[in-house]
Amino acid sequence: MTKKESRQKVYTLLVEVGRNAGDGLPEEATGAALMCYASGVDEAEAVRETVAILKQADLAPLDVSGYGTLDERLAEGHDISDDEKALMARALEENSVIVAQMTPFFDKA
């Protein structure tokens, strides 16, 4: 039995989150930016899955910016490390959302 060709692709998403009780962000943070790799048959599905998972993790997604698939990013001249490519491959293999980086925001008052 051969494995069926997957229609899934991995999309690079930047998600801005606000504060929510139990979100795990540093106490002084006002929110954060999360770099995510998410699988989906299209970018809209990847965004929906990512938002749903982040909400389950008690995060408060405010905005999502899509940067496309690996091929699209390479075509645009993005420099993509082997580590980043490995995380994308893992997201595809596991049909999952991987949060690769979280950068908290702090108000400078």
Q: What is the pLDDT of residue 108?
A: 76
The pTM assigned to this predicted structure is: 0.89
Q: DSSP for 49-68? A: HHHHHHHHTT-EEEEEEEEE
List residues bridging with 66 in a β-sheet.
Answer: 13
What is the spatial distance between Cα 23 and Cα 8, in angstroms, rounded to a whole number?
29
% of the chain exceeding 70 in pLDDT: 94
Average pLDDT over every residue of 12-31: 94
pLDDT at 2 over 60: no
